[in-house]
Each structure stands twice: as structure tokens, then as C-alpha cells.
Amino acid sequence: MKISPYQPDQSGMAYSVGTTLDRFINLKQNDFPFASGELSQLLRDIALAAKIVNRETNRAGLANIGGAFGQTNVQGEEQQKLDVIANIRFMRALSKGGEVCAIVSEEEDAVIDLQNNSGKYVVAIDPLDGSSNIDVNISIGTIFSIYRRKTPLGQPIQSEDIMQPGKDQVAAGYVLYGSSTMLVYTTGFGVNGFTYENSLGEFFLSHPNIQAPKKGGIYSINEGLQNEWEQSVKNYVDHCKDQRYAARYIGSLVADFHRNLLKGGIYIYPATTKNPSGKLRLLYEANALAFIAEQAGAVATNGQKSILDLSPNILHQRTPLIIGSERMVEDYLKITKQEEPSY
Ligand code: P6P
């Protein structure tokens, strides 16, 4: 039986694998009868910046833009040259695109007010996550969340427009600069993945309607920090070893998350003695991946609550992150006895 190249999505809309991102965005915009096209344009703006960062990343070793920038960011982390370049590229694309009023970036101490009081959207972004891997040619990524501003047009208000819980995201995604470059995103109607064709400068639909396996055999955690974990986390990792799960930890969140999303697995960055609130940031790392995870049938928690239900109190707030296949997160919660799973 000939297998149709057409894959019906959750809205029943049939589209072919190989559809360009631009055409897909237009098709999906039709799912929103009153859509003004502004979110569509914002997604295109992000894709444009991703293409540019992809080019910069691919030529880093040749263009002397690898290595350290010589400054530290608000996190106290040493900025790589590409961190700064990626931040500039996304800021510029979002500013010129005209749909955004404010940006929260891992690379910026404070909220960037774009002085665009007609912009309806707020973007929280980690322009280049895992950048310490750049110089050794290991996959890195961009992570982004999109919110509608809560206050009427005018200067955005941090407490209202910026500090929103993850459940209020209107879209979220990541770009994985790996053996191929992919953009994976959701607008709340499923998760779709697009692969970049360098020779054409286009993203093409390659992974329609991504569904995370309910079970998996991969666990991702930095076992070098074992002595900094609570005993309950050690108990879960021992469980993974008893189950003979594969240990896979790239040190690049987007790469670990993407593999676990497609193959089934769990990524854990728990509280440690050095980072008692966890290392990963709620606004521009955990929330976006949690939205994608839940849209793909997976789960994301801080050990006590769903990530998407956490209300941010500070801009660069950190959180423990346990994210991946539903049954594996369920086992984690049972074994660490931190929360009765409601899945
Ligand atoms: P550690 C990279 O700095 C990052 O934010 C994630 O991409 C990655 O999963 C994690 O931190 C690695 O942290 O402490 O294991 O080196």
C-alpha cells in the first residue's frame, strides 16, 4: 500500500512533508480564523535570525568567531563570541520585525524594551544555549518563548507583561544547530519539526506532529555532580542503572531534549549544592521546552509542580528541571517521592 506523503495534523489539515516553514505557518494561521498574521510574522522573524545564526555557527572556526568574548553575562558565565553574535542577531530580527514590544534574553541583565508600543508580543530567549560546546563542534541551540502582552498597548510592564507563567505562552520553540539544523516549535496545536536546507536557505517540514514516546530507555544527567544531589535523586539514577537505561548527556540542553523527545528519555537538572534552585532558567529555557514537551505528550516538572504552572518572581529565575517521557518522569516522582503524579 502506497503511504501517502500527506500527514493530517491535529486540526485535520493535510500538508506534505517537505512543506516550507513559511507555507506551513500560513497554513496553520488558517486554524485561527481571526488571526491577524502578527504571530506568523514573528515566527518568520525568528526563523530568519536562526538562519543567520546557523551560518555564523557553521563558519565559527574559520571566521575567528569561536572562543571566549572576554566578558561574563548576568549569569556569571563566560560569554562566547557566538553568544554575543547570536544575541545581537535575534535582537535585531525581533526589533526590525515590528511584532515585539519587549525581550528577555539570557545575555541581557534587564528586559530589553524595544520602544515599540504597538508590539503585541513578548519574547523570552536563550540565543545560544550550550555555547561552551561551540569550539569542540558539539550541537548547540536557541530556545524561545512567545507571550502576548497582558497590558493594553503602551510601555510594557514587567510584572504584567514579562513575568508570565509558562502556561500563558502562545508559542515556543528551539533551534538545534547539529548535524543538521532544525527548528521545532508549537503554537499550542501540536509540535512540528523543520530541517534547514542550506543550499536553498529554507526550513522544510521533516518531523510533522511530533509525539514523544511514553516510555524510554535514556537518562540525561550530569553524574559528575552526584555528590551535590539529594539522596532521592541518587536513588532514581540507581533505578536507571538497574533498568540498564543508556546514559546520554551532551551538556547541551537542546540536543539532549531533542533526542529524548524523539526517542524517549528523561533529562534531569536537579537542585545541587552549587545551584540549590537548579541551574536552568525558567523564563527562557524551562518554560519553552515544557510547552513543547506537553504538546508532544511528554511531561516537565520541577519535582513539585508542572513547570508551566510556576509563576516567575525574578527575571533570571532558575528552576530544577525534570523533563521527558511521561512514564519516566512518573517513575522519577515516585522514587523521589516529591509529588504524586497527576498524569
Ligand atoms: P552542566 C549549558 O550551559 C546548559 O545551560 C545546558 O545546555 C546543559 O544541559 C547544562 O547547562 C549543562 O550544565 O552543569 O552539566 O555543565
Per-residue pLDDT, 135: 84
Burial 184-198 (b: 16+ CB within 10 A, else e): bbbbeebbbbbbbee
Mutate to test the pocket of ligand 1, among 221, 228, 279 (most ligand atoms within 8 A of CB): 279
CA of 259 to the centre of ligand 1 (A): 16
Q: Which ligand 1 atom is nearest residue 222's CA?
A: 15
Per-state percent for the chain, helix, strand, coil, to nearest 5 = 35, 25, 40
Per-residue pLDDT, 193: 97
Q: How far is CA 54 from CA 30, 94, 130, 167, in A?
A: 29, 17, 14, 29
Rounded Cα–Cα distance for residues 144 and 310 (Å): 17
Per-residue pLDDT, 272: 97
Q: Which ligand 1 atom is nearest residue 132's CA?
A: 3
Angle at 228 between CA 223 and CA 230, to 5 degrees: 100
Q: For ligand 1, atom 15, name the residue with the nearest CA.
A: 222
pTM for the model: 0.92
**107 marked among binding-site residues:** no
Residue 129 CB–ligand 1 contact under 6 Å: yes
For residue 312, the 8-state DSSP code is: P
Q: What is the dihedral of CA 280, 281, 285, 291, to 10 degrees?
A: 100
Per-residue pLDDT, 153: 77
Q: For ligand 1, atom 13, name the residue with the nearest CA.
A: 251
Rounded Cα–Cα distance for residues 192 and 292 (Å): 10
Rounded Cα–Cα distance for residues 47 and 22 (Å): 9
For residue 221, the 8-state DSSP code is: -
CA of 10 to the centre of ligand 1 (A): 33
Start-to-end Cα distance in the chain: 37
Residue 279 CB–ligand 1 contact under 6 Å: yes
Per-residue pLDDT, 63: 64
CB 108 within 8 A of CB 90: no
**223 marked among binding-site residues:** no
For residue 139, the 8-state DSSP code is: -
Rounded Cα–Cα distance for residues 56 and 166 (Å): 30
Q: What is the mean pLDDT of each run of 10 residues along the chain (343 residues)?
A: 53 67 89 78 96 90 66 68 90 94 95 92 96 88 97 91 97 96 96 96 96 98 98 97 98 98 98 96 98 98 97 96 98 83 52
Q: Which ligand 1 atom is nearest residue 133's CA?
A: 2
Angle at 138 between CA 134 and CA 144, to 5 degrees: 75
Rounded Cα–Cα distance for residues 328 and 213 (Å): 10
